[in-house]
Amino acid sequence: MNDDASPPRPWLASYGTSIPRDLPAPRYRSLADLADRTCRQNAARTAFTCVVPNGMNGSLSYARLAEMSDAFAAFLRIDCGLQPGDRVAVQLPNGLAYPVAAFGTFKAGCVLVNTNPLYTAPEMIHQFRDSGAKVLVIVDMFADKLAEVIAQTDIGTVVLAGVSEFFPSLPRLIVRGVQKYWNRVLPPVPDLPVRTLRLRAALKAGRAHRAPVADYWQGTGRDDLALLQYTGGTTGVAKGAMLTHGNILANLDQVHAVSGGVMTRDDCVLTALPLYHIFAFTANLMTFFELGARNILIPSPRPVQNLQRAIENYPVTWITGVNTLFNGLMNEEWFAAYPPRRLRAAIAGGTALHQAVARRWQAMTGTPLAEGYGLTETAPLVSFNPLDDRARPGSIGLPVPGCDVVLMDDDGRPVAQGQPGELAVRGPQVMRGYWQRDDETARTMREGWLLTGDVAVMDEGGFLRIVDRKKDLVLVSGFNVYPNEVEDVLSLMEGVLESAVVAIPDAKTGEAVRAYIVRNPDHPAELTEAEITAHCRSHLTDYKRPRSIIFRDELPKSPIGKILRKDLKAEIAREFAGKGAPC
């Protein structure tokens, strides 16, 4: 489709008077500009509160966050010698250290590389080497992985932070004591060939310079790179989606446009989804921060009971999550008996929202559970169901203002209204491309349009509904698992001749990974399921590991020898027909 062509926009008629047709004029030059101005305007207000399962907590005001992020920016530029555009990897769970590191990175004029704290050493090595990260901020619970990782990367400084970082002294000591002596989840920090220090020491060093931090980001503009947000993209190898400051800022304007002004600085949002994921990064961290609202951070939402103290002790008005989180909450006796009294709405994304869950949520809490749709490559929001009687169950809503969508057939031509086609997106929130992957960028972006790989239909009012996923990804609790990556790990085993990875239904996570294995007949010992499980545990994050392993004598193949996953999917469809998803 031609870049200059304007597709029909039936969704505009459905906007009504509450959703503007156009985005406002840009208000900020960069995310650093936004952070600086927002902190000054809301200095006395509480920005972030981190709550651990036993209810112990710590908070940061906007003023304190401004000072700390300034100090971290000075540390990066002066002590670490970073220059504008250098990459900083942040591998932290939800906690007070995260916004300090993230906003400090932006203020230094550097690029944030969000990294899952649960990544295995091979996954960390790939992401750090690919991004060229020079500084790593990592939670100390997983510092034992660094001995294997650091020497194989360009990282020159490691900064350690705790889950209870910036808590008051007594709660911080209690939390760390429980971690170290009771749960035994604080390993000793290995001797590393690079400078290693605590976050508090890094901030102390930064403060000592009394640097003019605003000078660091004055030259940063909306077209400059802000995040490398890693995703499988169109294949199984993790790639960094290049999101600019303008991408994130435009998406913030789009979020505010579709929310109809119902989000305010007096709101309190519960953040159980990880901030390193683009959904929570934009919808929770950036959206409510810009408003001057309060963010309640949950370091680990599993088990779901970990949310109890936060929900009981704070005036939560918004919750974001995936289908499994909302379903899990409603199955908790304490939540069912006393749902949040001040809750105004909840937002679902990351994976399909089951309508039974949405209806039950409405009945239990008296508030809507609205579904949206987005991708890492779109920062992430593409469409959203209005928070009023226009919402259509089963739909992912209307395209957001400033965003064009079109449904295409296999030849790249728009399909007729009501017919399924691949969803393509164009707008100011669409990524620049994949980091150092021109070939993947070319496959995913055509004449200004991002091809999502999802098949959708659009009704006469412009509401979208996803009907299928064109690609083979497995969606586990909202996280993408790409079969190629898992199959590559399995191929490292000498006992594996061939493998194929597909999705199976799962009641808890939506989908789970199944691996079909053909044993290597030349291997001296017969490969066991336990050996495969142990191997995957050392190479893959938990949600990527096969939950079902099936041994076969052979796998279905095409005439040219390509393994046919579609045949295995058809078998699975027959297997689970009428059974429901396994628990």
3-state SS, 178-239, equals HHHHHCCCCCCCCCCCCEEEEHHHHHHHHHHCCCCCHHHHCCCCCCCEEEEEEECCCCCCCE
DSSP helix, strand, coil percent of the chain (3-state; round to 5): 35, 25, 40
pLDDT at 115: 96
Which value, in Å, is the radius of gyration of the alpha carbons in the chain? 24
506, amino acid identity: D
Phi-psi map region of 176: left, alpha, beta (phi>0 left; psi -120 to 50 alpha): alpha
pLDDT at 487: 86
* CA angle (457 as vertex; 455, 459 as ends), nearest 5: 165
pLDDT at 356: 80
pLDDT at 561: 55
Helix (H) or strand (E) holding 453: strand 449-458
pLDDT at 353: 79
Render 126-168 in DSSP notation, one character per residue: HHHHHHT--EEEEEGGGGGGHHHHGGGS---EEEEE-TTTTS-
pLDDT at 234: 41
Backbone angles phi, psi at 122, to 5 degrees: -60, -35
Which fold would CATH assign to domain 474-576? GMP Synthetase; Chain A, domain 3 (3.30.300)
**Closest among 314, 319, 307 to 367, alpha carbons compared:** 319
Q: In what order do the strands lie in the sheet with 318-321?
A: 57-61, 46-51, 294-297, 268-271, 318-321, 345-348, 369-374, 381-384, 398-399
pTM of the model: 0.87
Distance separating alpha carbons of residues 405 and 377, to the nearest angstrom: 14
Distance separating alpha carbons of residues 202 and 558, to the nearest angstrom: 57
Which segments of 323-444 does DSSP mark as H helices, in order? Answer: 323-330, 333-337, 355-365, 438-444
pLDDT at 236: 56
Angle between helical axes of 31-41 and 245-258 (0-180°, round to 10): 50
Neighbouring C-beta atoms of residue 264, cutoff 10 Å: 13
Domain residue extents for the chain: 474-576
Phi-psi map region of 526: left, alpha, beta (phi>0 left; psi -120 to 50 alpha): beta
pLDDT at 79: 98
Q: Give exposure, 366-395, as e/b (b: 16+ Cβ within 10 Å).
A: ebbbbbbbbbbbbbbbbbbbbbeebbbeeb
Phi-psi map region of 276: left, alpha, beta (phi>0 left; psi -120 to 50 alpha): alpha
Task: Enumerate residue ranges in the chain where pLDDT < 50.
Answer: 233-235, 560
